A and B are shown apart, each in its own frame.
Chain A
Amino acid sequence: DAKTTQPPSMDCAEGRAANLPCNHSTISGNEYVYWYRQIHSQGPQYIIHGLKNNETNEMASLIITEDRKSSTLILPHATLRDTAVYYCIVRVNRAGGATNKLIFGTGTLLAVQP
């Protein structure tokens, strides 16, 4: 079973920031938080990941609470092409092995409105 909970859906106005929450209250000390998104009928796309510090890349920012029990993915200026299902996943980050696997929950359907 997925170890994260996310709201099933969210709306966001085009050009505004989209803030997607994720709860992972049972996260272990060696588990990272990963975010992927899936646009309809495509494979998931990697967005960002982090352990305890906030992270930023060209796609998004990841804010992880100090107790690591929740996080927020921020898309700073959402566009229509950001409409997708966003998945928050916790995972041990190491080379090889079945324990490395990504288990997907139901994710959040983000609908960016014009």
Chain B
Amino acid sequence: GAVVSQHPSWVICKSGTSVKIECRSLDFQATTMFWYRQFPKQSLMLMATSNEGSKATYEQGVEKDKFLINHASLTLSTLTVTSAHPEDSSFYICSAQQTGAGNTIYFGEGSWLTVV
């Protein structure tokens, strides 16, 4: 299958700081990417849909000013957690849709964020 890569794999940051997570589609172009978060022993929760060159669409209850999403190219989307708090600590996972070839969505490896 197609490859989606996230960076960093894990990050520790201090409360009040911002942290950026990158999501790249390595061998295909993705006009649409998705961001999820997952708490321990829970399922994935969709946060937002990111479309290249336009504003992201956020799910109900997700603060767009806190979770900034930028999808400036067909292979890169970024999620910035602003003014992070300990409750933002979670596993963040991105996915990218391979246009054509079945429009299948492939996932990155995930990024662990710990806010201290």
A residues contacting B by CB (< 8 A) are 36, 38, 41-46, 49, 87, 93-98, 100-107
Contact = CB atoms under 8 A, between A and B. Distances in A.
Specify which of A43, A87, A96, A103 lies most central, judged by the most chain B CB atoms within 10 Å of its CB: A43
A49 B46 contact: no
A96 B34 CA distance: 11
Contacts, number: 69
Contacts of A97: 32, 49, 51
Interface residues of B, number: 30
19 contacts: A41-B110, A42-B110, A43-B4, A43-B6, A43-B109, A44-B95, A44-B107, A46-B104, A49-B102, A49-B104, A87-B43, A95-B32, A96-B32, A100-B32, A100-B97, A100-B103, A100-B105, A101-B46, A104-B46
Determine the main DSSP class of A at the interface with B: loop
B20 to A, nearest CB: 18
Contacts of A94: 103
Contact of A43 (B46, B102, B107): B107
B57 interface: yes
Specify which of A38, A97, A98, A106 lies most central, judged by the most chain B CB atoms within 10 Å of its CB: A98
B28 interface: no
A49 B34 CA distance: 19
Contacts of A95: 31-32, 97, 99-100, 103
